[in-house]
Amino acid sequence: MYKVAITGTGVFTPEQVITNDELVTAFNAYADKFNFENNDAIERGEVAAKEHSSSEFIFAASGITQRHVMDKAGVLDPNVMYPHFRKRNDDEPSIMAEMALDACTKALKQSGKTANDVDCIIVAASNHERPYPAIAVEVQGLLGAGGFGFDMNVACSSATFGIQAASDMIRTGSIRSALVVNPEICSGHLEWRDRDCHFIFGDVCTATFLERADNAKGPHFEVISTKCATQFSNNIRNNNGFLRRSLPAGLTDQRDMQFMQEGRKVFKQVVPMVSKHILDHLSSEGRGASELKRMWLHQANKAMNDFIGRKVLGRVPEEGEQPNILQDYANTSSAGSIIAFSQHSDNLKTDDLGLICSFGAGYSVGSILVKRVG
Ligand code: COA
């Protein structure tokens, strides 16, 4: 068995940003327009009037102040409220592959490696732009890497499940290395006209390069172990459809085809599941929570992370122990914990232990216990 190391990470951050105030202005304009157009039905009590959203609520309920998106104009147009993506020819790179290429190039640069060193690419995300050919194979082609690639989906836990799959292949020797890539165009599955959730998501792409530890060139994180779990729940669900450009004939509403959740139930059920999962993972390694120098948690909700941190550590986490990035990125699905890891891991010292943990629909939870080397 070989030791596995994370030797590089890369983050592609879309340039366009939507602040809470911009989002709320667009939503409220849409709500006013809806109420005006449906005035008679609302007065007859047949249709519910849309209430205004508020920046204060969004920040208090989630900790989010802004989000990066691939198309700001479409999302903020009260007549559209959906990202607009130019239809690409089949011989052009897909949007996800382009995002992935940027993140992968950065991860390889940090590792001091090139495409020739890549044996496997896993594109692990909540939504894939198309069923096939796999986005991973397209990324492989754009990078000029050998080996093989495949796509996988475990919703918000896709990154850590992908890292476990890659680690296991490296450990047993079937590959020397893998790029686990998480392009998340969450703006494409979000209903921007739903006041309860319109503020939740943002777009990003992360990449993690894993390789045999004996091939690592510089400081890195040894993957000590990984642990994944799932337990079926309907409380976060997307029934069908992604990056839909028009509604199928006969349909006037696509809400059933987008992200839906019972947010309160999710909060209540996922916090204990995740805290127990982390403690069980540590205990199976003969480690205690007090040995953890850092936790890079899934980035859905600040209050949720505060709860999990307190449950795992048995105290209020200190500044920097459990860094959040959701204030700048919002929920970026499987990419969130990797952004946090990428941006907040440099200052750990040799032998410091850390844990990457993502969780979400399924329910699913995946944790990666890592140790700083060098
Ligand atoms: N602006 C103003 N008020 C709003 C609002 C908005 N955009 N959205 C909801 N409200 C109101 C509601 O109408 C409700 O009012 P009421 O108490 O008069 O009925 C009140 O605010 C509370 O709404 P609720 O939806 O219960 O808020 P919450 O405190 O549960 O926060 C979430 C909502 C979604 C942020 C929170 O439940 C959450 O983060 N859950 C976990 C989600 C998660 O991790 N999902 C994983 C996704 S991958």
Q: Which pLDDT value is given to residue 319?
A: 87
Is residue 307 within 8 Å of 334, Cβ to Cβ? no
Strands 203-212 and 177-185: antiparallel
pLDDT digits (tens, 9 = 90+) for 182-235: 999 999 989 999 999 999 999 999 999 999 999 999 999 999 999 999 999 999
DSSP assignment, residue 335?
G
Burial (0-12, 13-18, 19+ Cβ within 10 Å), 284: exposed
Q: How many Å lie between the centroid of ligand 1 and the Cα of residue 314?
A: 27
Taking the CA atoms of the chain, what radius of gyration do you get in angstroms? Answer: 21
**Does residue 229 have its Cβ closer than 6 Å to ligand 1?**
no
156 in catalytic set: yes
Q: Distance between CA 200 and CA 330 in Å, rounded?
A: 6
**Bridge partners (DSSP) listed for residue 18:** 67
CB atoms within 10 A of CB 161: 25
- Measured in angstroms, how far is the CA atom of residue 118 from the centroid of ligand 1? 43
pLDDT recorded at residue 238:
85
The answer to whether the CB of 301 is under 6 A from ligand 1 is: yes
Give the model's pLDDT for residue 87: 82
Which atom of ligand 1 approaches the CA of 301 most closely? 39
Is 85's C-beta closer than 6 angstroms to any atom of ligand 1?
Answer: no
Is the distance from the beta carbon of residue 53 to the nearest atom of ligand 1 less than 6 Å? Answer: yes
Closest atom of ligand 1 to 303 CA is 39
Helix (H) or strand (E) holding 128: none
First vs last Cα of the chain: how many Å apart? 22
Cα separation, 31 vs 51, in Å, equals 7
Q: Of 234, 258, 301, which is best to mutate to test ligand 1, by the most ligand atoms within 8 angstroms of its C-beta?
A: 301
Pairing of strands 177-185, 120-124: parallel
Task: Give the pLDDT confidence score for residue 91 in this predicted structure.
Answer: 87
Q: Domain 224-373, what fold?
A: Peroxisomal Thiolase; Chain A, domain 1 (3.40.47)
Choosing from 104, 120, 156, 186, the catalytic residue is 156
Instruction: Give ∠ CA 92-97-98 in degrees, rounded to 5.
Output: 75
Query: Does residue 150 line the site of ligand 1, with CB under 6 A?
Result: no
CB-based burial, 316-331: b 16+ in 10 Å, e otherwise? ebeeebbbbbbebbbb
Residue of 123, 138, 14 whose CA lies nearest to 73 = 14
3-state SS class at 365: strand
Report how far ligand 1's centroid is from the alpha carbon of 58 (Å): 8
**Would you state the pLDDT for residue 89?**
85
pLDDT tens string 100-150: 999 999 999 999 999 999 999 999 999 998 877 889 999 999 999 999 999
Length of the chain: 374
* Token digits of residue 68: 């990066």
All residue ranges of the chain with pLDDT < 70 are 240-257
Under a CB-based contact definition with an 8 Å cutoff, are residues 100 and 123 in contact?
Answer: yes
The protein residue whose alpha carbon is closest to atom 29 in ligand 1 is 61
Expressed in angstroms and rounded, the spacing between residue 199 Cα and the centre of ligand 1 is 10
219 CB less than 6 Å from ligand 1? no
